[in-house]
Amino acid sequence: MISRLSDDRSRAAIAASIERRRVDTRGLLFKTILQSCLLITLALLAVLLVTVVMDSTDQLGTRLWDFLQGTLRSRSEDDRLGIHQGMYGSLWIAIIVAVLAFPIGIGAAVYLEEYAPRNRFTSFIEVNIRNLAGVPSVVYGLLGLALLLNGQIFGLDRLTGGSSALSGGITLAILVLPIVVITSGEAFRAVPIELREGAYGVGATRWEMIRTQVLPYAAPGILTGTLLSMARAVGEAAPLILVGAISGRLGDNPGLFDISALTDQFTALPIVITSWTVQSGRDVGFTAAAAAAIVVLLVFVLMMNSAAILLRNRFEKKRG
Amino acid sequence: MSMTEEAPRVFERPVTAGEPSAAPGIPPLATERDIVFSSEEVNVYYGSFRAVRDVSFDVRRNEIMALIGPSGCGKSTVLRCYNRMNDLIKDARVTGTITYRGTNLYDERVDPVEVRRRIGMVFQKPNPFPKSIYDNVAYGPRVAGQKKGLDDIVENSLRKAALWEEVNDRLTDSALGLSGGQQQRLCIARAIAVGPDVLLMDEPCSALDPIATARIEDLMQEIKQDYTIMIVTHNMQQAARVSDTTAFFTADIGSENDTRTGILVEVDATQKIFSNPSDERTENYVTGRFG
């Protein structure tokens, strides 16, 4: 029989069995390890950021405006050295990616998640899209080279002007397309079944249900995914090298929003950074220029992130 | 508060000729025109698995029919046959016939979207859309192409759902800010707004507290004069309180492979089911001896 609580002896036994609080050494050790992991991550980032910013002061601190307006030069002391052409390329690559990859990727995801029947064929397609997202970016560069520059297919090179910001943008749009499809698909899958049933229950068609429930609910998730893919596209250098981004001298500065320069020879921020870093071996002054270009690229990405976060918050507020 | 007469209808409801002129106290005889649903030998399959077997019963207009039975007996599955909601489940298949006012709901010419406008549904978990209260109620009429007169429809639907007094000063607020009971009444208003003929309710009170439940039950009694209602409930007292007719389902455990198939045990006047059922299994269930 179980002894009752009123039994004094059992009270003492209970006290003895539960009053055993001690220091949990293993738990503390575990927590400390986790904290150091975080600390290492932060420290590395901080070192990177601090060195880059410090190195960049030679350019950004003394001649910020000239640097932003300047062009690619062969000597680091050149007064006209600057980042403008890289900014033009990266800006338009971002715009082309947004215009091409986002609608096509989101559309493909809507079809795959909401319309396509679930069978072996569609899951085969899905697995392959996931694989495509993991394909090294150089391979996409080769695709861009064949498709847009060499004119092997459809003679597209006449349209893109060969090596151009347009070619680079299209190549990177293809690169991020699978990522957009996957992240959007995940956002659609997170839409609660209750919302779908509620819409169907009052006589909505599938399209109406998707338009009024699925898309608004999934919007923040889609936005997060597209933002990540955009940051990836803007940071890529390898595919751009293959589609012929210029790292040496380039012609005149196009206006930042001059569309006619889209089919001209181009460069982009990651290419400029790589090229200047390589050149710093013979001309130390390029170290500061490369660091300054990195800061410009970081600010660029940061601005895009903030815009996306603001938009996402607005969508989420709407979602209630 | 009876706003029902002047409530504008978005859709014509099927006109039932020959209103039975019943003398008070004497229940009118069911004529063929009174039959809203007639189901014969309905089977529901998920793939090759038969979830519900040979269900046959009728539902008459302006009555509340309760579907009761233990978990896993297929009540909700049966309910979802009546507005083609099972269409949305992959691999689900319905055999047998279900006629709605004489038309076979599973005829290939029937448009499930149109069916769902006439046969509305209220779900187990209150599922307001993440929109304003107004937009929730106006949702159905809007997808049906209605643009004018939405204010009246919203007001009338909310009044019918006994929610107007509580929300009329904050129609533009998010519906997600309402309490659970209010949300479920909003869902009822949303279903009413498209002018349905039948309301299917799938355990509408299972997520609500007793006070909110009582409000929904009162509401059902009030709107029953305008609608035919089918309600699935786990709560036997609720079935006894609100329904006119009760169908008792149970799960038939297959002898070979231990599969559970829902079967209909009996359908009768609610009073009879709870006081003097014909089948022993029903008696065991309603007296709490199993289930």
- CATH number of domain containing B104: 3.40.50.300
User: Which has the minimum average pLDDT: A226-230, B153-157, B190-194, B226-230?
Assistant: A226-230
pLDDT at B4: 43
The answer to whether residue B18 sits within a structural domain is: no
Question: Is the CB of B194 inside 8 Å of chain A's CB atoms?
Answer: yes
Task: Give me the total of CB pairs closer than 8 Å, taking one residue from chain A and one from chain B.
Answer: 73
Chain A nearest CA to B273, separation (Å):
30
The angle subtended at Cα B201 by Cα B49 and Cα B111, nearest 5°, is 70
Residue numbers in A near B144 (CB within 8 A): 203
Looking at the whole model, is its pTM more than 0.80? yes
Residue B278 is assigned to a structural domain of this protein: yes
Which residues on B lie below 8 Å from A202 (Cβ)? 116-117, 120, 139-140, 143, 190-191, 193-194
Highest averaged pLDDT of the listed ranges A100-114, A258-272, B11-25: A100-114
pLDDT band at A319 (very low <50, low <70, confident <90, very high): low
Separation between Cα atoms, residue B151 and residue B147, nearest integer Å? 10
B24 assigned to some structural domain: no
Domains of chain A: 86-264+296-319 (1.10.3720.10)
Confidence of residue A21 (pLDDT cuts 50, 70, 90): confident
- Convert A212-230 to b/e letters by CB count within 10 Å (16 or more is b): bbbbbbbbbbbbbbbbbbb
Q: Do B116 and A217 touch (CB under 8 A)?
A: no
Q: Does B121 touch chain A (CB under 8 A)?
A: yes
Look up residue B75 and give its two tokens: 């009540």
pLDDT tens-digit profile of A247-258?
Answer: 777 777 777 777
Nearest CA in chain B to A194: B127
CA of B264, closest CA in chain A: separation in Å?
A: 25
Encode pLDDT of A120-157 as tens digits: 999 999 999 999 999 999 999 998 898 888 877 777 77
Predicted confidence (pLDDT) per residue in B26-36, tens digit? 455 556 668 89
Residue B11: inside a domain: no
Inspect the interface and report whether the beta carbons of B129 and A213 lie closer than 8 Å.
yes
Domain boundaries, position B149: 32-286
Q: How many structural domains does chain B have?
A: 1
The predicted model gives B154-183 an average pLDDT of 94
Give domain status of residue B8, yes or no: no
> What value does the mean pLDDT take over residues B153-158?
95
Residue of B nearest to A211 (CA): B143
How close, in Å, is residue A273 to chain B by CA atoms?
46
Residue B150 lies in a domain: yes
**Burial track A62-94 (b if 16+ CB lie within 10 A, e otherwise):** ebeeebeebbbbeebeeeebbbbbbbbbbbbbb
pLDDT surpasses 60 at B257: yes
B84 contacts chain A (CB < 8 A): no
Report residue B289 as tokens: 């001896």
Contact B140 A205 (CB under 8 A): no
Q: Do A216 and B113 touch (CB under 8 A)?
A: no
- Report, as an integer, the average pLDDT of A70-98: 90
Tens-place pLDDT, residues B180-214: 999 999 999 999 999 999 999 999 998 888 988 99
CA of A198, closest CA in chain B: separation in Å?
7
**Residue B273 belongs to a domain:** yes
What is the C-alpha to C-alpha distance for residues A125 and B153, in angstroms, rounded to an integer? 46
Q: Would you say residue B49 lies in a domain?
A: yes
pLDDT for residue B91: 87
**A residues 197-236 lying closer than 8 A (beta carbon) to B:** 197-205, 208, 212-213, 216-217
